[in-house]
Structure 1
Amino acid sequence: MPDGTPYNTRFGDRYHSELGGLDQARQVFLGGCGLPAAWADAAQWRILETGFGLGLNFLVTWAAWKADPRRPRMLHFVSVEAHPVSREDLLKSLPADETLRPLGEQLAAQWWGLLPGVHRLSFDDGQLLLTLYIGDAKTMLRKQQLTADSVYLDGFSPQLNPEMWDEDAMKNIARHCHRGTQLATWCVAGHVRQALKAQGFEVKKRTGVPPKRHNLHATYNPAWEPRHRSDGLPAPVSQASRCLVLGAGLAGAAAAASLARRGWEVTVLDAAAAPAAGASGLPAGLFCPHISPDDSVLSRLSRSGVRATLQNLQQLSQANKLQPSRDWAHDGVLEHDLNEPSHLPKSWLQPGSDTYPWGLHWSAPVQPAQLSAAHLPADSQAVWHEQAGWVRPAQLVQALLQSPGIHWQGHAPASRLLRDPLRQLWQVQDAQGQTLAEAPMLVLALGPDTKPLLRASGLASGEWELQAIRGQVSVAEHDARTLAAMPPFPVNGHGNLVPDFPSASHAGAHQWVMGSTFERDVTALPPTAADQQAAHASNGEKLAALLPGCRQALHAFFEAAQPPATWARVRCAAYDRLPLAGPAGQTADELPGLWVLTGLGSRGLTLSLLCGELLAARLHGEPLPLDAKLAQALGTQRLWSRALQQPR
């Protein structure tokens, strides 16, 4: 438009400008839903918006939340947007208001990779969560699971976008309301009022924002008892209390941090003397998206996980709990495919598609300069993952456990779980039958020790199909020659190399790490000398195929008669190689308060923080941090189904 306001060519209409949009956001939507007064002293508040546009409603709501001393601890803002504007248009349209503009700049910093689906953006240390449903409003709201306390009914006008305002659309909105949910909109069209009334809303006209004479306010209060689709989960907790987390690796730290953020007092117990003593003590590892031509479950899940990991790393760095370049780096990862080309979804490469250019924000065809930097031939099959990097997991675990509300308790080996039904407490006992700790809620995040503990406690979930997998990596410090031979970024494929990260034991020294082996149903630690020699040989072969130049530079290491010991630990994976995050009981009330987060396999850095948020969301009845179908794929019911199918 001549005034610089972005214009939507699909609907022949422009987005609200700052001039009228801010008044509308404050008076029609925020004020129309009785906010901020309605959310005073609530533990959480959930807002659903039907058209994100340029984000003015979100920014105004965010600012009101920040300024309110009685604000809810957690604010969820869920917004549907079929055609997100570009980051450039978002930046151009930021309001000049000195309160809102800095918030808009934070929003723009996370405004990337918005492929069709669900995206969780995190602000203010994870206490304000923006969940974007990218896609057609009817389709997205039909597929997703959420309950809203307030509804901002927004979007292009009914004349230009009638499907957004018809009876089916209002039915979709009602599905996500509870009795008392407040709804506000600028649209007072008769058919919209009638559609809302038919779905159980009490509708009233109110004085509008000029030049409109009226806007609309509605309260969900149907004459019938609302029925909502059951997800098979326990009823959401009404308030946070005390929780135990068994296991101080990535899974346990992620669960503890997500719960503490919501007000829980969390005690993390582990048999070891320090956190991250198991597989999460890996010297360094990668967080990286998976790609597939059909954009599979794992591909979509990994992108949600990478975004969650990045947000946490950035927030922990802003709090000075992690140091970029020392503890982690977001420099991208080169995927070198050895067997067949890594195919990106075709639509990612097609201008004009709903996925272009958003998909290329995640992963793109490799550039010649990137192959050259890795000393690979120009015809190598490779992909560049822009949103990827490396982390030292132990440092991440330590940073997460520093969150307010978390207490660490080492030297606490759990041998049995008991539930006191009278006091409604879970007790963790040691081998002598002494109680180590007790609380109303317990999260098992013990990796390969999860299944043995469930069995020892006589719980049927001990029959779940979980597999222990030993992994060994080759790791050593650099000298000048080996450091010079390394690429400036990590490389993965069949195995992965983190080429340069600070040594944990020698100040000023740098290391490389290559691996890992996958030794299924092997748990012996430490590995025998023969096993370590075989692991070094395997890692060396992988490196020779992945980066021949690096393997040649490390000849003295891999060909030594007695190379240094491998770093070895045992991981845990489910039969389908997807994580497990949900209640431990077969039914919603079988094992009240007992939850599990495990099965991360070799993708702990990519998926642990997402799974921690998923567990907390399910526990509290929050909007989910990822697509509902993906969340279902991580549920416990699939393991129960497998267990019940096994012959007795």
Structure 2
Amino acid sequence: MSGIEFKDRKSPFSPHYDDFYFAHQEGDRESSYVYLEGCGLPGAFQSGQAKTTVAEIGFGLGLNFVLTLKCFLENAAPDQELEYWSAEKFPVSLSELRTFYTGYPDLVPFAEYLFEHYPVLTPGVHRVFIKGRKATLNLLVGDAKQLFEQMDFKAGHWYWDGFSPQKNPDAYSMELFKEVVRLSSPGARGASFTAAGWVRRQLESLGFRIEKRNGFGTKRECIHAVYEGADQTLEREAWYSRSRLKTLRPGDRIAVLGAGLAGSAIARNLAERGFDVQVFDPQGIAERASSNTVGLFNVQLSRLPNPISRFSQSSLAHFIEEIKKLETPRHLGILRDEPRTLESLNSSRYPEDFYQAKDDSVFFPKCGMINPRTLCIQRLDHPRIKFIQKEIIAVTDEAGRKILHGEAGEDPWVFDHVIYGLGADLNLGQNQLIHPLLTGLPLRPIRGQTLLVKPTPESSSLNHVLVKVGYASPIAPEVTGHSYHLLGATYQAKEIAPNQEELDADHLLSIARSKWAEFHSTQNIDVVSSKVGFRCSTPDKLPLIGPLCEPEYLKNTYRHAFKGSTSGGLAPLESSPGEWILMGLGSRGITYSSLAAEILGAMMTGSALPIEHDLLIHLHPARFYLRSLRKTTA
């Protein structure tokens, strides 16, 4: 975190950069003059263009964002959208934001949107929505160059707002400006408070035409710029290209197969983007692995960042934003009694308000539990979503349309796109696969068992989730609909013994008695019921998000790329047109589902992704085929 010092409410100071955030106490007027006017705002909003994309180096206290949001809301038509991207290496806390904006009472009504949606500031990309999806803030926490080189948006306006170039030269480096150029639309405009010669020369060498303006207040000069160079793209691996994917068009008919966590999440995401969606599941809403009365939203930690920990962190922030919007009943607080948890936190850049160390345990006040079925029902409660409790036997393709075949005698349904959000059985009621391309996916069922148990005198006072090997939930009828604890959950991918349910029940009870003081004194915990479910997981414990790929196409197109040849000149990825997959959420399905749906929704609409490219490749459905190709062609 930044650790701001306030000389007064209008003069925030950064000890890290030994510099003030603003040159004057009139920070709002200075920023409006330098950045908004310098980039031609509100003209872009008044021109009627459907979407305006603004990008920024240095989010700071969010003043440029709040001013831009205010300008947008006051000038844009109802059908226009604002997309805002900003990188910040040392983000400020919510309490520091609130302190700062007390000095600008006229901006508080607009800053409240930022306060309400300010994300959990873990490293990575955080996307939040304001007024539905009218305005989108993408806050990138970390090094600007490293994060921007992983992004694929195109900005028409740039705010170059680091601290003084002498104090923060990285914010004006040639390497970073090269990423700015790649992410700029032709004719993009930029502005900065600094007119330093070396900064101007770097921008000019990359295709920006620079003009000096009078500076604000006592400052002599500032600059604004127009990009006159060619449109640039960063050549990603051909097998992860999105250029040939069949994206959604207005009026397209969309089917989602599966009404659990995955299916409900993507249905809601697409409905909020303005598309009509039909969801099919013969069992009803959340009747399989998503049917537990308790589900945790938690974070996976590691001493060093890895794909699972990175995706988990971004997913948690996105999920918290979603349940806040849906007003999903939840019970907050998870106490993790695991030594490695504290070790991981001590070696990572997690915000101070994200956790509280307690002896050998760590308390996470923003994590907690929900009822998964309640969440799925809420997600599907949207005027653009229709739930159909029907069985789909097979999906076929006819002239680019997706034909969904039901039971004998039923007329088939016709769609333009179909999304597979199925569970561990990979079908919706029959013993055969709905689609042959699902055969090659390394999806596997993971058995899990939970117990509902009656409270003891000691356990009745438990007010947060306990996690150590397993977990124990507090009594929270407002979430679960009952007054019992839930103990869970086992995790088995191997052979199941004939008496496995009895063995697992004994195992869960043993954990409760040995690990948590609330159950120590009770030798005979009264079990109300036992439940067995099967999660749909993958070998690397990360979901499959993206287009449904054809193994033969991958093999024939890319096999030589793994024999020493370059990837340049290879054909972009082609998939089964109009077929998508969101599966394999595994035991972290609640936490993962919201961001996974946002990623898939962005893919399907051809929009900028809310995730780094080097993380996307660990989620793409083609990854297992490609890994196999590498092994066989090495």
TM above 0.5: yes
- How many angstroms does 1:385 deviate by? 2.0
Matched, 1:444 2:436: no
Q: CA deviation at 1:413?
A: 1.4
Q: Which residue of 1 aligns with 2:40?
A: 34
Gaps of 5+ in 2: 1-5, 555-572
Q: What is the rounded CA distance, in whole Å, between the counterparts of 2:101 and 2:306 in structure 1?
A: 35
For the pair 1:336 / 2:346, whether they are aligned, the reply is no
Relative to structure 1, the CA distance from residue 18 to residue 513 in structure 2 (aligned partners, 3 Å threshold; closer, same or farther) is farther
Report the Cα distance in structure 2 between the residues aligned to 1:554 and 1:401, rounded to whole angstroms: 43
Cα distance in 2 between the residues matched to 1:239 and 1:203: 39
Give the Cα separation in 1 of the matches to 2:167 and 2:411.
65
Secondary structure, aligned partner of 1:187:
coil
Measure, in 1, the Cα distance between the counterparts of 2:414 and 2:445: 28
2:68 counterpart letter in structure 1: T
Distance 2:268 2:523 in 1: 39
Cα gap change, 1:360 to 1:455, in 2 (>3 Å): farther
Provide the C-alpha distance between the structure 2 equivalents of 1:141 and 1:405, rounded to a whole number of angstroms.
34
Q: Distance in 1 between matches of 2:388 and 2:80?
A: 27
RMSD of aligned residue pairs (Cα, Å): 3.3
Distance 2:268 2:48 in 1: 22
1:242-298 per-residue CA deviation (whole Å, 9 max, x = no partner) reads 3221111111111112222222222222122x3111111111111111223234432
What is the CA–CA distance in structure 2 between the aligned matches of 1:255 and 1:430, rounded to whole Å? 22
Pair 122,69 (structure 1): closer, same or farther in 2 beyond 3 Å: closer
Alignment partner of 1:396 is 2:375: yes
Cα gap change, 1:221/1:593 in structure 2, threshold over 3 Å: closer, same or farther? farther
Give the match for residue 378 of structure 1. Answer: none
CA distance in 2, matches of 1:465, 1:50: 41
Alignment deviations for residues 591-620 of structure 1 (CA, whole Å, 9 cap, x no partner): 122111111111111111111112123334
What is the alpha-carbon distance in structure 2 between the residues aligned to residue 126 and residue 486 of structure 1?
A: 41
CA deviations on 1:296-347 (whole Å, 9 max, x unpaired) are 4322322222211211111111xxxx3xxxx3122x111133xx65443364
Letter in 1 for 2:515: L
Report if aligned partners of 1:336, 1:546 keep a CA contact under 8 Å in 2: no
- Whole-Å Cα distance in 1 between the matches of residues 458 and 314 of structure 2? 33
- Whole-Å separation in 1 of the counterparts to 2:452 and 2:194: 63
2: distance between equivalents of 1:131 and 1:143? 13
The more displaced of 170-179 and 236-245 is: 236-245
Aligned to 2:511: 542
Does structure 2 retain, via aligned residues, the 8 Å contact 1:461–1:640?
A: no
Match of 2:575 among 571, 579, 590: 590
Letter in 2 for 1:437: W
Report what 1:151 is aligned to.
158
Structure 1: how far apart are the matches of 2:250 and 2:105?
35
- Counterpart of 2:394? 416
Once the two structures are TM-superposed, the CA of residue 577 in structure 1 deviates from its matched residue by 0.9
Residues 147-178 of structure 1: CA deviation (Å, up to 9, x unaligned): 32322222223343334224333212101123
Distance 1:72 1:211, change over 3 A: farther
Contact 1:468/1:522, CA 8 A, preserved across alignment: no
| Pair 426,41 (structure 1): closer, same or farther in 2 beyond 3 Å | farther
TM-score by length of 2: 0.84
Quick check: 1:141 aligned with 2:141? Answer: no
* Cα distance in 2 between the residues matched to 1:238 and 1:599: 24
Match of 1:294 among 290, 301, 304: 304
Counterpart in the other structure of 2:354: 362
Match of 1:566 among 525, 530, 537: 530
Structure 1 spans left out of the alignment, 5+ residues:
349-353, 368-380, 559-563
Using the TM superposition, give the Cα deviation of residue 198 of structure 1 relative to its aligned residue in structure 2, in angstroms: 2.5
Q: Deviations over 1:400-446 (max 9, x none)?
A: 11234222222x2122112233xx32222224385543332221111
How far apart are residue 113 of structure 1 and its match? 4.8
> Shift of residue 466 of structure 1?
0.7
Task: Kindly provide the amino acid, as one letter, of the partner of residue 178 in structure 2.
Answer: K
Q: Report if aligned partners of 1:483, 1:500 keep a CA contact under 8 Å in 2.
A: no
1:14 match: 20
Contact 1:267–1:407 at 8 Å: present in 2 too? yes
* 1:630 is the counterpart of 2:599: no
With over 3 angstroms needed to count, the CA separation of the structure-2 counterparts of 1:470 and 1:431, relative to structure 1, is: farther
Bigger mean CA deviation after superposition, 31-40 or 285-294: 31-40
Output the CA distance in 2 between the equivalents of 1:18 and 1:608. 45
2:491 to 518, 537, 561: 518
The answer to whether 1:230 aligns with 2:207 is: no
Contact 1:112 1:361 in 2 (8 A): no
Q: 1:624 to 1:493 in 2, by over 3 A?
A: farther
Where 1:139 maps in the other structure, the secondary structure is helix
Give the superposition deviation at 1:537.
1.9
Question: Which is further off, 258-267 or 145-154?
Answer: 145-154
Change (3 A) 1:61 1:18: farther
**Aligned partner (choices 23, 27, 43) of residue 29 of structure 2:** 23
Change (3 A) 1:470 1:3: closer
Deviation of 1:101 after TM superposition, in Å, equals 0.8
Matched, 1:162 2:169: yes
Whole-Å separation in 2 of the counterparts to 1:101 and 1:117:
27
1:137-216 to structure 2, matched below 5 A, reads 137-205=144-212, 209-211=216-218, 215-216=222-223
Q: Is the 8 A contact 2:462 2:518 kept in 1?
A: no
Tell me the residue number matched to 1:612: 597
Secondary structure of 2:139's counterpart equals: strand
TM-score normalized with structure 1 length: 0.83
1:371 is matched with which residue?
none
Q: Could you say which residue in structure 1 is the equivalent of 2:325?
A: 315
Percent identity of paired positions between Structure 1 and Structure 2: 27
Deviation for aligned residue 1:213 = 6.3
Cα drift, residue 643 of structure 1: 5.5
Residue 92 of structure 2 corresponds to: 85
The corresponding residue for 1:267 is: 278
Q: Secondary structure at the match of 1:520?
A: coil
In 2, the alpha carbon distance for the partners of 1:408 and 1:18 equals 56
Q: Matches of 1:240 and 1:430 in 2, distance apart?
A: 26
Structure 2: distance between partners of 1:640 and 1:75: 38
- Is the 8 Å Cα contact of residues 466 and 574 (structure 1) preserved in structure 2? yes
Note if 1:281 corresponds to 2:291: yes
> Alpha-carbon deviation of 1:108?
3.9
Cα distance between partner residues in 2 of 1:43 and 1:598? 33
Instruction: Label 1:503 to 1:61 Cα distance change in 2 as closer, same or farther (>3 A).
Output: closer
SS in 2 for 1:77: strand
**Is the 1:269–1:408 Cα contact (8 Å) retained in structure 2?**
yes
1:94 Cα deviation (Å)? Answer: 0.8
CA contact (8 A) 1:418 1:426 kept: yes
**Whole-angstrom CA distance in 2 between matches of 1:503 and 1:88:** 29
2:277 counterpart SS class:
strand
Note if 1:500 corresponds to 2:479.
no
* CA distance in 1 between partners of 2:606 and 2:195 (Å): 32
Which segment is superposed worse, 88-97 or 240-249?
88-97
Match of 1:250 among 216, 239, 261: 261
Which residue, out of 487, 491, 508, partners 2:462?
487
SS at match of 2:616: helix
Could you tell me which amino acid in structure 2 is paired with residue 107 of structure 1? L
- 1:377 aligns with none
Q: Which residue of 2 aligns with 1:581?
A: 545
Write the mapping of 1:443-482 to structure 2, written as runs, cut at 5 A. 443-450=419-426, 456=433, 459-476=436-453, 478=454, 481=456
- Taking structure 1 as reference, are residues 621 and 485 closer, same or farther at Cα in structure 2, changes over 3 Å only? same
Change beyond 3 A, Cα 1:626–1:18? farther
- On the 8 A contact 1:32/1:217 being kept in 2, the answer is yes
| Paired residues of 1:145 and 1:624 also in contact (CA < 8 A) | yes
Question: Which of residues 387, 407, 430 is equivalent to 2:386?
Answer: 407
Deviation at 1:58, TM superposition (A): 0.4
Q: Distance in 2 between matches of 1:520 and 1:366?
A: 34
